[in-house]
Amino acid sequence: MELNFNLKHAMCNLFEVHEDESGVQRVITPLEYPGSHDHIVLRVRPKDDHWLVDENGEAAMYARMNGGDVGNDNVQRWAIDLERDNSVQFAEEETLSSRVFSHQMLAPTLFRVTSAAQQLYTLATAHKERQASHFKELVTEIVNEICSHLKVPVQHNARLPISGELEADHLIGSEANPLIVISATSAKRLLEAEIIHMQYRLNNTPGFVLAVTESQKIVGVKQFMRANYYTGKTVEFNPTDFKQLLRSQVLH
């Protein structure tokens, strides 16, 4: 009996439960997103005649920050099966959630949503390295082509003279007033482009930050729209349009 008691106590202690506002319970689980040290955190909220369990959209957010695509076909097919087999929905707000009508089902539902969060992250990031590499290669080819044609110097993976040891994927033109190209393969990399832009502005250092991402879905539509206010320019990649834009920026 002593073993059973200690085991139960140890297992319960792995889950932290915090009381938030409006009756919301925040549950910090011991499980993490694959490849990271970020714990999966769930919310339990009273809603009319049931409780709503969700992960506040963090699975999709972490996946995007690591170059994942939550809108790919594999994820969409998985979401259909998930709702049918486990009663967990992947809503338009990109949040995993499930309704609970009996307190006896709260614990099983917590595990289902936690498991779904891990699965979503894994599926969304499954092919990120190959896709990111191919996208970056295309951007590099175009940069080299334009710079060679216009006889403009270019540095690749260039360390920038700002705090944080951030790098430009391509530093084009004079270091006194460069065109800084960032291949934003993830929401995190797009955020770095914003930080670079802001530091150049704060230090009154000449330079133009051009961020290019393979698609808005990969970095998140909201993040993409936001970035246009905090970079010189942020665009979705199209080979023809990118060539024209790059040429005009270099000649500017």
- Tally of CA atoms within 13 A in the half-sphere of 248 that contains its CB: 8
Q: Contact at 8 Å (CB) between 13 and 28?
A: no
**Nearest one of 122, 136, 115, 127 to 63, comparing CA atoms:** 122
Per-residue pLDDT tens over the stretch 10-66: 666 677 888 877 778 888 888 888 766 788 999 999 888 888 999 999 999 988 888
CA end-to-end span of the chain, whole Å? 78
1: pLDDT strictly greater than 50: no
The torsion defined by the Cα of 125, 227, 231 and 235, in degrees rounded to 10, comes to 70
Domain map (residue ranges) of the chain: 2-126, 129-251
Q: Which secondary-structure segment (H or E) carries 225?
A: helix 221-227
Tell me what the mean pLDDT of segment 110-116 comes to: 91
229: pLDDT strictly greater than 80: yes
Per-residue pLDDT tens over the stretch 199-227: 898 888 999 999 999 888 888 888 899 89
Tell me what the mean pLDDT of segment 91-114 comes to: 89
**Nearest one of 238, 241, 195, 250 to 213, comparing CA atoms:** 238
User: What confidence category does residue 8 fall into, taking pLDDT thresholds of 50, 70 and 90?
Assistant: low
Longest dimension (CA), the chain: 80
> What's the rounded Cα separation, in Å, for the pair 7 and 19?
25
Per-residue pLDDT tens over the stretch 130-187: 556 788 999 999 999 999 999 999 999 999 988 777 899 999 998 889 999 999 988 8
Q: Report CA-CA distances (Å) from 123 to 34, 78, 120, 213.
A: 11, 9, 5, 20
> Residue 115 phi/psi, 5° resolution?
-60, -40
Per-residue pLDDT tens over the stretch 172-205: 998 889 999 999 988 888 989 998 998 898 888 9
> According to the model, what pLDDT value does residue 4 have?
54
CATH ID of 129-251, from 3.40.1350.10, 3.40.47.10, 3.40.50.150, 3.90.1010.10: 3.40.1350.10
Q: Report CA-CA distances (Å) from 17 to 6, 24, 121, 165, 224.
A: 19, 10, 23, 38, 34
126: pLDDT strictly greater than 60: yes
Q: What is the DSSP letter of 232?
A: S
- Tally of CA atoms within 13 A in the half-sphere of 219 that contains its CB: 29
Which amino acid is residue 2, in one-letter code?
E
Residues 6 or more apart whose Cβ sits within 8 Å of residue 222? none
> According to the model, what pLDDT value does residue 52 have?
92
Q: pTM for the full model?
A: 0.61
**Nearest one of 141, 217, 228, 213 to 183, comparing CA atoms:** 213
Q: Contact at 8 Å (CB) between 172 and 179?
A: yes
Among 105-109, 129-133, 134-138, 238-242, whose mean pLDDT is lowest?
A: 129-133
In this structure, what token pair is assigned to residue 247?
A: 């040429």
Which amino acid is residue 120, in one-letter code?
L
Q: Where are the beta strands (DSSP E) in 101-227?
A: 154-159, 167-172, 179-184, 208-213
Give the domain 2-126 fold. Yope Regulator; Chain: A, (3.30.1460)
